[in-house]
Structure 1
Amino acid sequence: MQRGARTSRPREEKWMLRLYIAGNTPKSTAALINLKRYCEQHLSNRYELEVIDLLLNPQLAAGDQILAIPTLVRKMPVPVRKIIGDLSNEEKVLVGLDLRPIKK
């Protein structure tokens, strides 16, 4: 590797994302819509998204230590990262996920 060269994740690496919501609240709905848009733009077909409604399965909040909703958890690639809120600020979401846009 050249000195100063940046290492990057392989393009084919699969991202595993989990979005915790609470029913169809405006913030939960906005978070899901925003996240799907970012995934399609920046991850193409390299992601799996699991949506967990804590109104239906409140016991699942403990596994990822969810304290607020909506919360996005990046399970893979490691390390695990979390973002709380409606995910409306794309730049903050991409930085929070350590996601570099695909160069076209």
Structure 2
Amino acid sequence: MEKIPVRKYQVVEEAEIDLVLQCKDSHEFYDRYFKVFPDTKKGLDSISKIWKRRSEFAKKRPLSITTKEAGTKSAQDIAALIAEQTKILGEISALANESLEV
């Protein structure tokens, strides 16, 4: 007797994916899920499986930065600060290496 193939993952709607990508932790996701989808027939187990697949959804659909946000002054400031931080850490590393040699 043949086994009926079982679906590995349940079908997840786009709205559910959007919601899971917006939430920071599982508690926030569960609270918001039941508010956004009050008449859902999915159980807590099914909803927790959606949360567990969060990283998979994020890889497939990364949150895109709009072109308007990409050119803002704050993004340029952050890039400059990171460059300066890298330079300082390089100097600290060189000084530490000199100290260890002595």
> Scaled by the length of structure 1, what TM-score is found?
0.25
> Scaled by the length of structure 2, what TM-score is found?
0.25
Relative contact order, higher structure (CA 8 A, sep 6+)? 1
Bigger fraction of residues in helix: 2
Q: Which protein has the larger Cα radius of gyration, Structure 1 or Structure 2?
A: 2
